[in-house]
Amino acid sequence: MKQLLEFIPLILFFITYKLSGVRDAAIVLVVATIVQMIVLKVKYGKIEKQQLFISAAVVFSVYSQPISMKSNICNGK
């Protein structure tokens, strides 16, 4: 059950990416990661250091830089 719970943010990211793009998928990933951390804390009483580090890295990397593709990739140049 715990392993499935850890994959839910990633699964939601890919589904959202296919449906509406990278910006929305990044937002969904951050929100799902935060919800996942809350559920882990409530259900198991603690959060492992590795999980905390990965969650912090996800949140930091999404909000530290704008999410967009380079114009030459988008325009085909």
pLDDT of 32: 95
Compute the distance between CA of residue 39 and CA of residue 20 in angstroms, rounded to an integer: 26
Query: Each residue of 16-73: pLDDT tens digit?
Result: 999 998 888 999 999 999 999 999 899 988 888 998 898 888 888 877 766 555 554 5
pTM of the model: 0.76
Mean pLDDT, residues 7-14 taken together? 93
Sign of the alpha-carbon dihedral angle for 3, 38, 15, 54: negative
Cα separations in angstroms, 43 against 25, 69, 73: 26, 38, 44
Work out the pLDDT band at 9, boundaries 50, 70, 90: very high
Question: Angle CA(70)–CA(73)–CA(77) in degrees, nearest 5?
Answer: 115
Phi-psi bin for 30: left (phi > 0), alpha (psi -120 to 50), beta?
A: alpha
